[in-house]
Amino acid sequence: MEKIIFGNIVDVHRRIIYPGKLTIAGKHIKDIRYDEEAKGSDKYIMPGFVDAHIHIESSMLSPTEFAKIAVRHGTVATVSDPHEIANVLGVEGVNYMIEEGKKTPFKFNYGAPSCVPATDFETSGARITSKDIKNLMIKNEIKYLAEMMNWPGVLNNDEEVYKKIQAAKESNKPIDGHAPGLKGKDAEKYASAGISTDHECIELDEALDKINAGMKILIREGSAAKNYEALSPLLKSHTEQLMFCTDDSHPHELINGHIDRFIRRSFDIGADLFEVIKIASIYPINHYNLDVGQLRKGDFADFVVIESMTQFKPVATYINGEKVAENGRELFTTPTPTLINNFNCSHKMVEEIQVSVKDKKVRTIVAHDGQLITSSEIIDSSQLRQQDALKMVVINRYNDAPPSIGYIKGFGLKEGAIASTVAHDCHNIIAVGVNDEEIIKAVNEVIRTKGGIAVSNIDEVTSFPLPIAGLMSDLSGEVAAEKYNELLEIAKSLGSTLHDPYMTLSFMALLVIPALKLSDKGLFDGQKFEFVSLTD
Q: What is the pLDDT of residue 130?
A: 97
User: What whole-number distance in Å separates Cα of residue 255 and Cα of residue 301?
Assistant: 24
Residue 223 has pLDDT above 80, yes or no: no
> What share of the chain has pLDDT > 90, as a percent?
91
DSSP structure class, residue 48 = P
- The tens digit of pLDDT for each residue in 435-462 reads 999 999 999 999 999 999 999 998 899 9
CA distances from 173 to 77, 111, 138, 217, 287 (A): 18, 10, 10, 18, 10
Query: Tell me, what's the pLDDT at 187?
Result: 96
Task: Summarize pLDDT for 81-132 with one digit per residue, the tens.
Answer: 999 999 999 999 999 999 999 999 999 999 999 999 988 899 999 999 999 9
CATH number of 49-292: 3.20.20.140
Question: Across all residues in the chain, what is the average pLDDT?
Answer: 95
Amino acid 435: pLDDT? 96
Quick check: 61 and 69 in contact, CB under 8 A? yes
**CA–CA separation, 524 vs 509, rounded Å?**
9
Is residue 228 scored above 90 in pLDDT?
yes
User: Quick check: 246 and 222 in contact, CB under 8 A?
Assistant: yes
Question: What is the average pLDDT across 288-307?
Answer: 98
404-409 and 361-367 beta bridge pairing: parallel
The confidence score (pLDDT) of residue 526 equals 87
pLDDT for the residue numbered 513: 85
Distances (CA, A) of 9 to 13, 299, 387, 536: 11, 15, 57, 64
Q: CA 417 to CA 434: how far, in whole Å?
A: 6
Res. 295 pLDDT band, cuts 50 70 90: very high
Determine the longest span between alpha carbons in the chain, in angstroms. 81
User: What's residue 1's pLDDT?
Assistant: 80
Compute the radius of gyration of the chain from its Cα atoms: 23
pLDDT value at residue 536: 85
Q: Closest Cα partner for 26 from 8, 2, 6, 48? A: 2
pLDDT digits (tens, 9 = 90+) for 126-172: 999 999 999 999 999 999 999 999 998 999 999 999 999 999 999 99
Residue 407 has pLDDT above 80, yes or no: yes
Residue 313 CA neighbour count, 13 Å, CB half: 9
| Whole-number pLDDT of residue 463 | 98
Q: What are phi and psi of 270, to 5 degrees?
A: 85, 20
DSSP state of 472: B
Average pLDDT over residues 419-441: 97
* Burial (CB count <10 Å: 0-12, 13-18, 19+), residue 429: buried
Average pLDDT over residues 351-358: 94
Half-sphere exposure of 529 (CA within 13 A, CB side): 10
Ramachandran area for residue 123 (φ above 0: left; ψ -120 to 50: alpha; else beta): beta
Three-state secondary-structure class, residue 10: strand
How confident is the model at residue 20, as a pLDDT?
A: 97
* All residues at 6 or more sequence positions from 461 whose CB lies less than 8 Å from its CB, including other chains: 441, 442, 445, 454, 455
User: Which stretches of 232-348 are DSSP H helices?
Assistant: 251-254, 259-268, 273-279, 282-288
Edge-to-edge strand list for the sheet holding 242-245: 197-198, 216-220, 242-245
The full DSSP string for 411-437 is: ---SS-EEEES--TTT--EEEEESSHH
Domain boundaries, the chain: 49-292, 350-531
Q: What per-residue confidence (pLDDT) applies to 250?
A: 84
Q: Give the pLDDT confidence score for residue 68 in this predicted structure.
A: 97
Mean pLDDT in residue range 26-33: 97
Please give the pLDDT value at position 119. Answer: 86
259-269: pLDDT as tens digits: 999 999 999 99
Pairing of strands 43-47, 3-11: parallel
